[in-house]
Amino acid sequence: MSILIKGGTVVGPTGPYAADVLVDGETIAAVFAPGRGPDGPEVIDATGKYVIPGAIDAHTHMQMPFGGTEASDTFDTGTRAAAIGGTTTIVDFAIQRYGEVVQDGLAAWHAKTAGECHIDYGFHMILGGVDDDSLKAMDQLVATEGITSFKLFMAYPGVFYSDDGQILRAMQKARENGAMIMMHAENGPAIDVLIKQALERGETDPIYHGRTRPQELEAEATSRAIWLASVAADCPLYIVHLSASKALEQVKAARDLGRNVFAETCPQYLYLTLEDQLGAPGFEGAKWVCSTPLRSKHESHRADLWQGLRTNDLSVVSTDHCPFCMKDQKEMGLGDFSKIPNGIGSVEHRVDLLYQGVVDKKLSLARWVETIATTPARMFGLYPRKGIVAPGSDADIVLYDPAGRTRISVETHHMNMDYSAWEGWEIDGRVDTVLSRGEVIVSGGDYRGRKGRGKYVPRALSDYLL
Ligand code: URP
Ligand code: ZN
Ligand code: ZN
Ligand code: ZN
């Protein structure tokens, strides 16, 4: 089966150019000057559309057990929603809980995903307890399981928290075996003190989730992670869900010294705020409880993050998709913000929300594609199979219509959530067609794929490592 995608503007990390793309089976066979492609194959008319690599969401948590409940999107519902939004690969987090064997945690995630996913997927591994056994397991996962990145938490004491000694040991191991350390950089023990004090003062509304996680405690943890990585012979470090100006300053300073330090941000930090969303009346703000938290609109966070994306001090935009419904889930925290399960769901909307940054002249077309597809592919060892429209790559392709419009609502989204964090938002652009390994799974915005067609993708080492 071959398909010629004709008349479009291909956008890659080096910018836009007019070209026709020939897909043969599951891969891209050739990229032709306009009109030079062969006759014969089925033609998809891409006139007026951008032809971009399928987006890669390198940070999702489908059906993650967390906060006494489980994230509401399954691998079935979540990967279907992702596909409709132009994402053709996710990298989700398999979890080793305290006291659990790393490989058993990984096996559990393979069991959850088997036969469920609509698009391709890989795993990072969350290490819930760094000890001799899990350090040994890191080597095995890198060598034979296609897992080349490990997430550690400086937050959530008693749940996922690792102390500095454990972090250092994992970093030393990663420096040896070539893996990337991903860090949730917030000072958890200090945050727990602030939470206790707030609750004692009767401050129980959702906004106090943000007020008890001040940016200083994100910046401090970010800085500490950077120094620990330095001690571990410049172990590659990737700061996840960076939300705040002061944390970004730490990353910038390290990068300006040539350090092996990278960071991602998420759409919620680029657009939403502590006051307008987390501070919504009554319990409404629970919809936007996530960690790191939304930041104040009275400070320069959002402008600084957009700038960081332009300067490559922020390399990637992921969603940290971790949805919980209001009913029965977010509601667990009525009267006590600390019991609201942490997470926002945006896996369906990242491509659109970042395209709005292009329309608003905050990002170039090339940077849009780079931050949502090419860099995540390179950062996490999926490149050149994913993340680029080029001969030999998987035919994961999105036709994006800049003349279209997207209105986001719980009434029309496909994620398994009873609200939208983006209710009523209108985007100047629209995902029109999505191919995943050569199969048209979205056409004219309508879903045509099926569950179980997505494959596990073992990952190589990051090509960002020095
Ligand atoms: O609020 C969040 N981010 N929930 C998901 C878990 C994590 O820390 O990434
Ligand atoms: Zn996190
Ligand atoms: Zn810089
Ligand atoms: Zn996360």
Query: pLDDT value at position 285?
Result: 98
- Evaluated on CA atoms 245, 232, 372, 185, the torsion sign reads negative
**Which residues, chain by chain, have CB under 5 Å from ion ligand 4?**
320
Ligand 1 pocket by Cβ (under 6 Å)? 61, 184, 241, 290-291, 320, 322, 342-343
Output the pTM of the full model: 0.98
pLDDT of 159 > 70? The answer is yes
How would residue 465 be classed by pLDDT, with cut points 50, 70 and 90?
confident
Both tokens of residue 442? Answer: 């979205």
CA distance 443 to 73: 23
Counting ligand 1 atoms within 8 A of each CB, the residue from 187, 294, 322 with the most, and so the one to mutate, is: 322
Domain extents for the chain? Answer: 2-52+386-447, 55-379
Quick count: other Cβ atoms within 10 Å of Cβ 83?
29
Cα(144) to centroid of ligand 1, in Å?
A: 28
Which ligand neighbours the alpha carbon of 312 most closely? 3
104-108 average pLDDT score: 98
* Smallest CA separation from ligand 1 atom 7, residue: 291
Residue 403 Cα, ligand 2 centroid: separation in angstroms? 35
- The ligand that comes nearest to the alpha carbon of residue 290 is 1
Cα 236 to ligand 4 centroid, rounded to whole Å = 19
Same-fold call for 2-52+386-447 versus 55-379: no
Nearest ligand by distance to the CA of 320: 4
| Ligand 2 center from residue 343 Cα (angstroms) | 9
**pLDDT tens digits for 2-31?**
999 999 999 998 999 999 999 999 999 999
From the list 224, 347, 227, 215, the residue with the least C-alpha distance to 293 is: 215
Q: Which atom of ligand 1 is nearest to the CA of 290?
A: 1
In residues, how long is the chain? Answer: 466
Among 55, 58, 136, 162, smallest CA distance to 387 is for 55
Q: What is residue 330's three-state secondary structure?
A: helix
Read off the pLDDT of each residue in 172-184 and give the average, rounded to a whole number.
98
DSSP β-ladder status, 65-66 and 69-70 = antiparallel
Query: Which regions of 385-461 does DSSP assign to beta strands (E)?
Result: 397-401, 406-407, 426-427, 430-436, 439-443, 446-447
CA of 184 to the centre of ligand 3 (A): 22
Return the ligand number nearest the Cα of 324.
1
SS3 (DSSP) at 204:
coil
- Chain centroid to Cα 461, Å, comes to 18
Stretch 307-328: mean pLDDT: 98
Which amino acid does the sequence have at 272? Answer: L
Are 91 and 124 a contacting pair, CB within 8 Å?
Answer: yes
User: Which residue in this structure is represented by tokens 């994961």?
Assistant: 396
* 161 neighbors 153 (Cβ within 8 angstroms): yes
Q: Between 3.40.640.10, 3.30.365.10, 2.40.50.140, 2.30.40.10, what CATH number should domain 2-52+386-447 receive?
A: 2.30.40.10
φ/ψ bin of 390: left (φ > 0), alpha (ψ from -120 to 50), beta (otherwise) = beta
Query: Residue 82: which of 466, 419, 335, 454 has the closest Cα?
Result: 454
CA atoms lying within 13 Å on the CB side of residue 280 = 13
Residue 116, both tokens:
């469920």
- Is the pLDDT at 466 greater than 70? The verdict is no
ipTM confidence? 0.93
Ligand 1 atom 3: residue of nearest CA: 291
Protein residue whose Cα sits closest to atom 8 of ligand 1: 291
Atom index in ligand 1 nearest the CA of residue 343 equals: 1
Q: Which of 61, 76, 71, 64 is nearest to 115 (CA)?
A: 76
Cα–Cα dist 24/8, whole Å: 18
Q: Specify whether the backbone of 405 is left (phi greater than 0), alpha (psi in -120 to 50) or beta.
A: beta
Pocket test for ligand 1, best of 290, 292, 321, 417 (most atoms within 8 A of CB): 290
- 125: its two tokens: 């591994």
pLDDT at residue 40 in the model: 85
Report whether pLDDT(129) > 90: no
Could you tell me the distance, in angstroms and rounded to a whole number, from the CA of residue 271 to the centre of ligand 3?
23
Q: In whole angstroms, how far apart are CA 239 and each of 40, 69, 263, 275? A: 48, 26, 4, 25
Distance between CA atoms of residues 105 and 392, nearest Å:
33
Tell me, in angstroms, the distance from the centre of ligand 1 to residue 150's CA.
Answer: 15
Residue linked to tokens 């000890």: 131
Q: Residue 4 in contact with residue 51, Cβ under 8 Å?
A: no
Give counts: helices (H), strands (E), the chain: 13, 21
- Looking at residue 451, its pLDDT comes to 98
Q: How far is the CA of 48 from the centre of ligand 3 (A)?
A: 35
Please determine, looking at this structure, whether the domain spanning 55-379 carries the CATH number 3.20.20.140: yes
